[in-house]
Amino acid sequence: MGSLDTFCTQIRPEVTAALAANFPTLSTTIIQTLGNQSVGLTQGQISSTTPTVINSTLPTLSIVPGWNQGQANALIQSITIAGFNINSGSSLVSLGTLIGGVPSATINSISSTQLLAISRNPTFINNILSAPVIVQETYVKQIISIDVTKVVENVPDALASFIPPVLLSSLTITNVTLINLKIWKQEQAVVLFGPVASASNNMEELSESILQGFTCTSARSLPLQKIKQLVKACRPRTDRNKVALKESQLICMYNYVKDDLTLSFTDMPSDMLLYYSYSKVPKTKCRSYFIALGAADFSIPSSLLKIPSSLFKSAQDCLGITGTTLNKDHVGVLGNMICTLNPSYIQNSDPLILENLKNCEDLSDAQVTAIQTLLFSGNTPYGNRLTWNQKTLDQLGILPLYLKRDFWAAFSSTTKTAFLKSFVPFLRSQKVDIAKLKSFTTEISFNTKMIGRTITACTTGNITEATIADPSFPFGYDSTQFDACLDIAVLRDNIAAITDKVVDTMHQNILSICLYVLQSKAVIMKYLSVEGNTLGTAELNAIGSNLCSLDVSVLNTITADNLGRAKPMNISSCSIEQKSALYSIANSSFSSQRNDPTTFYQLISLYLGNTHFFTYSQVYVSIDCVVK
């Protein structure tokens, strides 16, 4: 461990998980030695550890980054059982990175004044930002309850988005700087924009968080010159994030500045230029207009307005574009307008077009096909497909998210797995739509060698804690292999980690079934924990096929008499070990019928595995067969 901490600046999650798996029994010394690598512990390891051990190592665990929800919940539950009271602001602070595991009801029970006192603690605020939304909302609600007239002063800047807009509507703006520092949602900014703009003397200093609240309603009460200054403040700036504005806001802005000849195209929000009347653009300045327009988001205009197609026609005239071929200069000028073009332009243009396509909000299937055609041509900076490697994938930016199975066929499974270790975390950080993630998973996982083959045994490799921690998981496991290689116990110990990564519908269905089995087992075991309760005939009839959720040791407690009197049950989902245990009991249950081979076979047949089936087929030749 010392060597890892000394020589490794960053340890891969799967390595951390594999390391932690070496300690089935945890002690205070082991956890302290693991340090930040404790994040590799499973929910099962945490839950099975003596609560006093977890509680005694809180100073170590509370500074470990990266806990998932299941781990945080298990750790908080454990220290609570050990006697740790979460009943004050200081106790919340001491939890550090474990704050995400605290129930919102617990936050709600702590004194509001104590919660306010810790709101100035930057470490605590940083930690709570990683907690579930309900925990953040509850924390802010408690602070607000102290004084609704001081929500701006009391609520931390990073949590201001949880303030209800109605509480902002009656504020008297006296400190623009204070409001300007906070992070607001668009619906909050709409309420704040008018008063803040009126109180401010410098529109250039207003944050993009406030500027996104621009509306015609609030603008009406402002002097025209200030409105123009606000529009200019929304222009693209290299040192600031883009101001997110909707179509109605952009049209309103344009109507205020459309006749102002003093403003250059770079003085205006690029998205607003989508609504700029092209008839007002002098021929000598059309190139400048399209360069500025190139930074716009072309997905904003309503499809009914047909703005992209109209603008491209104007661009063709301005830039002298003929046919479906765009040269390097055309591509550079058009910028994001490239995202709206039909496939023929993509596959026939200068390869620089691929760089523009990396900025698109979305790509159609036809556009993706054209991108692949261009890539397959070999006439791009990415070269011939035979030379493609992980570096190629890294250089393609976001484009691999959209590419299809024939593209992925050019890469080995090893290359794809290595690429996914960085690409999947990137997609999650970008909050990529779940539908896109599902499509991506399907395309990159497609394997032509597996078509028509059904392998029910686990051949890909058992899913372990290290497998789950790998950022590329569950790549490489089709639905059949996912089912065959996922052990119920592993799922139980890693529920949060697995469910967070699985997006494929078939994989999710398998998880649902497995979780049902886990739930069934929990209910049955709770019943059996009561003194005097056993798996009698009535219980077996009620349990039915859920019998397969129980451990072999539990099945072995079933008596031959109770099993023999129970209703026939479907045990097809049982493991070989479970079936063997049930067969042994059933063999005793029906032993009195051995003198009548037909009757005995009919009774025992439900419990026959392949081995036992072979044995009986030698004795009772006339057993049932299905001829195909």
Q: Is the pLDDT of residue 617 over 70?
A: no
Bigger pLDDT: 186 or 496? Answer: 186
How many independent structural domains does the chain possess? 1
Confidence of residue 609 (pLDDT cuts 50, 70, 90): low
Exposed, middle or buried: residue 274 (CB in 10 Å: 0-12, 13-18, 19+)? buried
Q: What percent of the chain has pLDDT over 70?
A: 94
**Which region among 83-87, 461-465, 540-544 has the lowest average model confidence (pLDDT)?**
540-544
Q: What is the reported pLDDT for 626?
A: 37
What are the tens digits of pLDDT across the range 324-345?
999 999 999 999 999 999 999 9
The per-residue pLDDT for range 414-438, each reduced to its tens digit, is: 999 999 999 998 998 898 988 899 8
User: In this model, does residue 18 exceed pLDDT 90?
Assistant: no
What is the band of 455 on the pLDDT scale with cuts at 50, 70, 90? Answer: low
Name the pLDDT band for 532 (thresholds 50, 70, 90). Answer: confident
Query: Do residues 403 and 370 touch, judged by C-beta distance below 8 A?
Result: no
Residue ranges making up the domain that contains 235: 164-276
What is the rounded CA–CA span in Å between residue 394 and residue 389? 9
Determine how many CB atoms are found less than 10 A away from the CB of residue 266.
Answer: 14
Residue 306 lies in a domain: no
pLDDT at 408: 95
**Those residues with Cβ within 8 angstroms of residue 608's Cβ, 6 or more apart along the chain or in another chain:** 583, 616
| Closest alpha carbon to 401 in 382, 421, 420 | 420
**Amino acid, single-letter form, for residue 215:** T
Over the Cα atoms of the chain, what is R_g?
A: 32
Helical ranges in 486-555 per DSSP H: 488-493, 495-501, 505-528, 537-543, 552-555
Q: How many Cα atoms sit within 13 Å of 82 on the Cβ side?
A: 18
SS3 219: helix
Lowest-pLDDT choice from 233-237, 301-305, 467-471, 516-520: 516-520
Q: Which of 223-232, 238-247, 309-318, 429-438 has the lowest mean pLDDT?
A: 429-438
pLDDT at 628 exceeding the cut of 60:
no
Task: State yes or no: pLDDT of 608 exceeds 80.
Answer: no
Distance CA 137, CA 172 (A): 24
Q: Which residue is listed with tokens 């929800």?
A: 69
Residue 223 resides in a domain:
yes
Name the token pair of 108: 């709600």
DSSP class of residue 213 equals T
Cα(353)–Cα(363) distance, integer angstroms? 13
Q: Going by C-beta distance under 8 Å and a sequence separation of 6 or more, which residues neighbour residue 584?
A: none
Question: CA dist 19 to 177, 487, 491, Å?
Answer: 49, 20, 19
For residue 320, which phi and psi values (nearest 5 degrees)? 70, 35
Q: What is the mean pLDDT of residues 228-248?
A: 95
Percentage of the chain modeled with pLDDT above 90:
64
- Is residue 347 a part of any domain in this protein? no
pLDDT band at 618 (very low <50, low <70, confident <90, very high): very low
Q: Distance between CA 314 and CA 281 in Å, rounded?
A: 11
Structural domain contains residue 142: no
Report if residue 214 sits inside a domain: yes
Within a domain: 410: no
Q: How many CB atoms lie within 10 A of CB 280?
A: 11
Helix and strand numbers, DSSP H then E, in the chain:
40, 0
Mean residue pLDDT across the chain:
89
pLDDT tens digits along 537-577: 888 888 888 888 888 999 999 999 989 888 888 888 788 88
- Does any domain span residue 386? no
Range with lowest mean pLDDT among 191-200, 256-265, 284-293, 502-511: 502-511
Give the separation between CA 114 and CA 107, rounded to whole angstroms: 11
- What does the angle CA 406 – CA 408 – CA 411 come to, to the nearest 5 degrees? 125
Does 209 reside within a domain? yes
- Rounded Cα distance between 81 and 84, Å, is 7
